[in-house]
């Protein structure tokens, strides 16, 4: 059967985001777009059970499910939902994974270690998923782990809109900073979009989770520094980088991080840090402590995901969303002067 209108189904990982995507698609369509009625629950022993209450035969299905904490439970929900849809004769199954967990295990860094990102990719494909839609993969080469199409969207166009709105009177003072050498390409992308110079904080780790030494490459004196990265986990490196930048003469420090994992002491560290603000997206559902702090601000990804889903379903370009000028009308009103 030929797919018609896209249909959305959500696991439990980030239902608020799925509902916002559905509302946004309703605006585009001029009629209500809701989530497919289903139950995703656990038995007493922790087994996950999925039941879809609507007919999905011949439908173009989109599963919205980040594999964030608890990563294993949310990954299993994604796999089981995909299997349920495949056995219900869905025409096509696309996994919308705003945050792709296990992406940091994308290579063998030591002897006798796994490449778990590849294993997860194999499981997703085997479950019946035919296309992936995600945001800011930790390592872009993970796209090659899949034998199906992968659309990796970028947060930098949204961040560019946010920066131009919130720093419009001091754009000449902006310095984009990569917190490590490996993230230079991501930081450079935002720097080019807003016409700002680029600096790098070179870090050397003592052991995992701890930073032994940091060196700033570039002149940040009297600059408003924006640290750009894809993941903030325990926030130790981020807060240390902010301190080092101020020690090197930066006027103030803000951070733009796509995925706010924010585990362990992260919230306490951010609150106590010298950073003015930490800006994250809503790819991972915000906890109460995240919502309670004034130092963390959340920018929405639902408008972009809604448009990407519609473009995918219609067979039109998704790469058009890489341009902040294209995203501007989608976010119209949110960043108006």
Q: Is 308 known as a binding-site position?
A: no
DSSP assignment of 21-78, as one string? HHHHHHHHHTS---BPPEEEEE-TTS-EEEEE-S--TT-EEEEE----SSHHHHHHHH
Q: Give the 3-state secondary structure of residue 132.
A: strand
> Is there a contact between 48 and 76 (Cβ–Cβ < 8 Å)?
yes
Percent of the chain with pLDDT over 70: 95
The per-residue pLDDT for 180 is: 87
The per-residue pLDDT for 336 is: 53
From CA 288, how far away is CA 295, in angstroms rounded? 14
The per-residue pLDDT for 212 is: 64
> Is there a contact between 235 and 269 (Cβ–Cβ < 8 Å)?
yes
pTM of the model: 0.94
Q: Is 138 known as a binding-site position?
A: yes
Q: How far apart are the first and last CA of the chain?
A: 47
Q: Is 287 known as a binding-site position?
A: no
Q: Is 293 known as a binding-site position?
A: no
288 burial class (0-12, 13-18, 19+ CB within 10 angstroms)?
exposed
Q: Give the 3-state secondary structure of residue 17.
A: helix
The per-residue pLDDT for 211 is: 60
**Active-site entry in 7, 203, 207, 288:** 203
Q: Is 37 known as a binding-site position?
A: no
Residue 223 dihedral angles phi and psi, to the nearest 5°: -105, 150
To the query of whether residue 295 is one of the catalytic residues in this protein, the response is no
> Is there a contact between 263 and 70 (Cβ–Cβ < 8 Å)?
no
> Is there a contact between 54 and 36 (Cβ–Cβ < 8 Å)?
yes
Q: Is 180 known as a binding-site position?
A: yes
10's enclosing H/E stretch is: strand 6-10
DSSP letter, residue 273: S
The CA angle 168-171-172, to the nearest 5 degrees, is 145
Q: Is 215 known as a binding-site position?
A: no
Structural domains of the chain ordered from first start: 6-154+302-330 (3.40.50.2020), 156-299 (3.40.50.2020)
Tens-digit pLDDT string for the chain (337 aa): 444 689 999 999 999 999 999 999 998 888 889 999 999 999 999 999 999 999 999 999 999 999 999 999 999 999 999 999 999 999 999 999 999 999 999 999 899 999 999 999 999 999 999 999 999 999 999 999 999 999 999 999 999 999 999 999 999 999 999 998 889 999 999 999 999 999 999 877 666 656 668 889 999 999 999 999 999 999 998 999 999 999 999 999 999 999 999 999 999 999 999 999 999 999 999 999 999 999 999 999 999 999 999 999 999 999 888 887 788 888 877 775 4
The per-residue pLDDT for 3 is: 46
The CA angle 40-46-51, to the nearest 5 degrees, is 20
């Amino acid at each position: 059967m030929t797919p018609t209108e896209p249909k959305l189904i959500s696991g439990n990982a980030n239902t608020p985001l799925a509902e916002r995507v559905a509302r946004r698609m309703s605006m585009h369509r001029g009629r209500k777009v809701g989530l497919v009625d289903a139950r995703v629950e656990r038995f007493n022993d922790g087994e996950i059970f999925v039941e879809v209450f609507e007919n999905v035969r011949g439908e173009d299905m989109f599963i919205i499910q980040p594999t964030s904490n608890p990563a294993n439970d949310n990954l299993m929900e994604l796999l089981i939902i995909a299997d349920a849809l495949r056995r219900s004769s869905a025409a096509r199954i696309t996994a919308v994974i705003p945050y792709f967990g296990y992406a940091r295990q994308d290579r063998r860094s030591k002897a006798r270690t796994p490449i778990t990102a590849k294993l997860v990719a194999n499981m997703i494909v085997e479950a019946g998923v035919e296309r992936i839609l995600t945001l800011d993969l930790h390592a872009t080469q993970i796209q090659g782990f899949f034998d199906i199409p992968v659309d990796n969207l970028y947060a930098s166009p949204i961040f560019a809109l946010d920066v131009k709105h919130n720093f419009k009177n001091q754009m000449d003072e902006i310095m984009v900073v990569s917190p490590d050498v490996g993230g230079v390409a991501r930081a450079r992308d935002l720097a080019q979009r807003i016409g700002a110079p680029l600096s790098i904080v070179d870090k050397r780790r003592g052991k995992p989770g701890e930073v032994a030494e940091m060196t700033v490459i570039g002149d940040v004196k009297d600059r408003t520094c924006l640290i750009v990265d894809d993941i903030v986990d325990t926030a130790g490196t981020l807060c240390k980088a902010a301190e080092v930048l101020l020690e090197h003469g930066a006027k103030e420090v803000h951070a733009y991080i796509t995925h706010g994992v924010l585990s362990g002491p992260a919230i306490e560290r951010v609150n106590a840090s010298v950073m003015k603000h930490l800006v994250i997206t809503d790819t991972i559902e915000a906890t109460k402590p995240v919502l309670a702090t004034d130092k963390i601000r959340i920018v929405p990804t639902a408008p972009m995901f809604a448009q990407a889903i519609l473009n995918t379903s219609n067979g039109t370009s998704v790469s058009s969303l890489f341009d902040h000028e294209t995203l501007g009308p989608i976010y119209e009103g949110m960043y108006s002067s």
